[in-house]
Structure 1
Amino acid sequence: MAAGAGVRAVAGRRTNKPVWIAAAACAGLLATAWLARERPIVVRATAVERRPLVVTVVTNGTVEPARETEVRAGLDGRVLFVVEEGTKVAPGEVLVRIDARRVEAELKEARSRRIEAVARLEQAKDAVEQARERVRVDRELLEAGALAPEAYRLSERALAEAESRYQNLQRQIPLELESLDLRIEDLQARLEAARVRASFAGTVYRRQVEQGQVVRAGDPLLWVADLGHLRVRANVDQVDLGRVREGQEAVIRSDALGRRAVPARVARVIPHVKKIESRSVSEALLELIQAPEGLVPGMIVDVEIIVERISDALQIPAEAVFVEEGRSYAYRVVGNRLGRVAIETGRASALDVEVLSGLKPGDRVVLSPREGLSDGMRVQVEAVETSAGS
């Protein structure tokens, strides 16, 4: 009996050993999962600070010449010459020459007709003088009995006809000359229009015609601009329109300029709102203090218009703020744990946001909070970055 009992006891211990092994494995997995869950997430953070804040309206705009002109054809014809794009031109310099041989022929004909009209009037006047002289001579002959009365009457009749013809031409010729003068003036203007000239010193920065092309009066030919004086036509969202005023400082940036700040000034606000895709915008014209090399018409640039300067504002980088269901939040780092904090934001610059409530100076907030972060999560701050400011 005792021996059998011992055998059963040994057999029972062998039967429970796999259960112990499984239990130990499960415990190990749970411990690993717990440790993994508590492994800190590396985040970047910065301190909440009080310092000056430059409040800006951030938008974009297009570079354009402050002075430009669109040159159009003044008459129909074939283009005989057109200046190359990029050419610097002086006032009065010929930009385009259009074939005007037909106009020249019409002008020559009109001038000839005018000369003929004046000649007809002069000839009629001379005819009257000659007829009067003939009558005077014939009267003397008639009184001397050397001319028959019938011949004298013929002389008088010829004078009357000459005077009548001259009087008629005195009424007709001035009207004809007036019409011809208008015609000549128009043809001369058209002939001059065949040589399209620059109205001011500038650069041909775009052209739309080629040599040999046939154009019609009014067709655009090319554009001339003073590239030494550029400006930016900035889009201003309707909600910001009341904050943008003439004289405010501004800054433009572009990748083409290495993102360096180019100072500008609001020269004019255009009080007209239009739709650009989903935006309702007005426009502000920005005068560049000094246009840098590399800035050309048509370039799209980023614009910051300085609308207010605050001497002391509690602020954090804009990238630290995230929005959920219409409310603003930030993740505050306390010790090595995250705390999601509802914050109230105020005015802003291109980089920073004023904090009205929810944070205090010295608090640390996570930059660029990503998905996966949650309240109470354990974190490791990679570095505490101080905002560079605006």
Structure 2
Amino acid sequence: MAAAVVGCTGKGEAPAPDQPVRDPGEAAIRVDTSQARVGRLEREVTATGITSPWQETNLRAEAGGRVLSVSVDNGDVVEVGDALLKIDGSRQRLAVSGASAQVDALERDVELARSDAERKRALAQKGSLPAAQLEAADNRLERAEAALAGAKANLGSARRSTRDTRITAPIAGIVARRVVDQGDVIGPGTPLLDVVDLSKVRVQVGLAGSEIGRLDQEAEAQARIEDLGGEAVAARFAALAPSADPMTGLFTVEYHVDNADARIRGGMVATVELPLRKAREQVLVPRSSLTRRGGQLAVFVFEGGDESTPGGEAQLDRGVARLVPVRVGAYGDAVVEILGGLEGGERVVTSALHALADGVIVESGDPKAAAPMPLANAPGQTPDPAPAPTP
């Protein structure tokens, strides 16, 4: 059709925007139109995410040695403080003995240094001892006390290493992965096993920025676990990310789901029906009328229409397409909110946008015969986070 227009005009150019179109002639682009109207965008927003455990701990060895026993296996349920495995602690016990002996010896050294310093201080006060000898005695006492403090720290570390040979459950949950076996020789930092708490699960989904203000954080949401046949469970709002994901442009919203029977596992697909506050009345236009020109969203408004030409069974209305920049709000499946640029009642072009420019002559069918524009989404559908305008 664009080629036909070029052939009719001879130059392939649309009239300049500032030139009045009094006689449209025969060169016109056939378009469909719809009337912008004021209404509420009723949306059912759904988003898909992945479940994750309420808590998850990855246990690693803090002390090295041979694994003497493993008390649990994959899938076992454990409580806080339950014994999980035991490591040979003979080396740690020897270290405790050596550190304890050193502390005892240094405590005696401190007592001797303190007695010597006190004796010389008494002599110095009587004038029977030079001040330099008293200062030397005080320095020996300080060094002995510092050495004792270091030895006590070493003793505490050795005793801690001994306790680290017994691995207990830090949380209640299920053993998800056991890495070591009895008889393995491990070093500090070796992975041992993972424990997950599934008493609750977290579900994180992405929400477009245009919907952040309408998200009802107090209302209960519904999460459907797709891997459990679409079973619906109640979900409570927990957190909203302060910034959008740089890769997707979406804001992460976290919901919490009770899971006392542990049927929901980590990594399952969940579809959350996000509760939104009731929308205010705005100008609504079909999504198909949006286009992007010069980096800005816009629509073509059908102007004129005072002349008509035969068009088969219906009369064709002729006019001019005027490019109008707009500011958009929330998106629905079929319509979009216009926050600025239109007032409602305008006829907007919904087809052949790729062939249009500001001031191009267009023709359309009788606007009264046009199909009504839907104002709500079909239930259960997920809207796209951004429009797909004609390039």
TM-score w.r.t. length of structure 1: 0.51
**Any conservation in 2 of the 1:74–1:217 contact (CA below 8 Å)?**
yes
Paired residues in the alignment total: 246
User: In the alignment, what sits opposite 1:102?
Assistant: 91
CA deviation after TM superposition for structure 1 residue 226, in Å: 2.6
Deviation at 1:243, TM superposition (A): 3.3
1: CA distance between counterparts of 2:352 and 2:162?
70
Give the equivalent residue in structure 1 for 2:341: none
Q: Do the aligned partners of 1:55 and 1:308 also contact (CA within 8 Å) in 2?
A: no
Shift of 1:342: 5.1
* Amino acid aligned to 2:377: A
Match of 1:153 in 2: none
Q: Which residue of 284, 287, 303 corresponds with 2:256? A: 287
- What is the alpha-carbon distance in structure 1 between the residues aligned to residue 240 and residue 378 of structure 2? 21
Q: Distance in 2 between matches of 1:273 and 1:181?
A: 51
Aligned 1:40-51 pairs, distance under 5 A: none
Q: Which residue of 1 aligns with 2:380?
A: 351
Amino acid at match of 1:229: K
Aligned position for 1:254: 225
- Asked if residue 183 in structure 1 is aligned to residue 154 in structure 2, the reply is yes
Match of 2:362 in 1: none
Does the CA contact (< 8 Å) of 1:58 and 1:303 recur in 2? yes
* Pair 1:299 & 2:268 matched: yes
Aligned to 1:266: 237
Paired residue type of 1:176: A
User: Would you say the 8 A contact 1:250–1:266 is kept in 2?
Assistant: yes
Q: Distance in 2 between matches of 1:342 and 1:282?
A: 36
Q: Hey, what's the Cα distance between the residues in 1 that align with 2:372 and 2:188?
A: 64
One-letter amino acid matched to 1:269:
L
* 1:226 and 2:201 are equivalent in the alignment: no
* Number of the residue aligned with 1:93: 82
Counterpart check, 1:235 vs 2:210:
no
Partners in 2 of 1:342 and 1:248 — Cα distance?
A: 36
Q: Which has the higher helix share?
A: 1
Structure 2: 5+ residue runs without aligned partners? 1-40, 117-133, 280-332, 336-349, 355-368, 384-391
Q: 1:290 to 1:118 in 2, by over 3 A?
A: closer
**TM superposition shift of 1:295:** 1.0
Change in 2 beyond 3 A, CA 1:353/1:299: closer
Structure 2 counterpart of 1:74:
62
Paired with 2:382 and 2:241, the residues of 1 have a C-alpha distance of: 28
Q: Does structure 1 conserve the Cα–Cα contact (< 8 Å) formed by 2:221 and 2:237?
A: yes
CA distance in structure 2 between the partners assigned to 1:292 and 1:305 by the alignment: 24
Deviations 1:182-225 (A, max 9, x none): 11111222222232322232222334444455555445433323
Q: Within 5 A, what are the aligned runs for 1:1-390?
A: 55-82=43-70, 83-119=72-108, 170-275=141-246, 279-288=248-257, 294-308=263-277, 344-348=373-377, 350-351=379-380
Tell me, yes or no, if the aligned pair for 2:46 and 2:381 is still in contact at 8 Å. Answer: no
**Which residue of 2 is the match for residue 43 of structure 1?**
none
How much does 1:305 deviate?
1.0
Residue deviations 1:155-201, cap 9 Å, x none? xxxxxxxx999988644432222111011111222222232322232
Q: Please say if residues 66 and 226 of structure 1, whose CA atoms lie closer than 8 Å, have aligned partners that are also in contact.
A: yes
Q: 1:348 is aligned with what amino acid?
A: N
2:201 & 2:269 partners in 1: Cα distance?
A: 13
168 and 237 in structure 1: CA distance in 2 versus 1, 3 angstrom threshold: closer
- Which residue matches 1:147? none
Q: Structure 1, residues 352-371: CA drift from partner, whole Å, max 9, x if none?
A: 699xxxxxxxxxxxxxxxxx
Distance in structure 2 (CA, Å) of the matches to 1:61 and 1:103: 47
Identity of aligned residues (%): 27
Unaligned runs of 5+ in 1: 1-52, 128-162, 311-319, 328-339, 355-390
Measured in 1, the distance between the counterparts of 2:209 and 2:85 equals 43
Q: Which amino acid aligns with 1:67?
A: Q
Does the residue aligned with 2:276 lie in a helix, a strand or coil? strand
CA distance in 1, matches of 2:155, 2:265: 43
Contact 1:91 1:201 in 2 (8 A): yes
| Equivalent-residue separation in structure 2 for 1:238 and 1:271 (angstroms) | 11
> Scaled by the length of structure 2, what TM-score is found?
0.51
Q: Structure 2: how far apart are the matches of 1:254 and 1:324?
A: 39
Residue pair 2:199, 2:259 contacting (<8 A) in 1 also:
no
Distance 1:168 1:285 in 2: 61
3-state SS of paired residue (1:247):
coil
Change (3 A) 1:89 1:54: farther
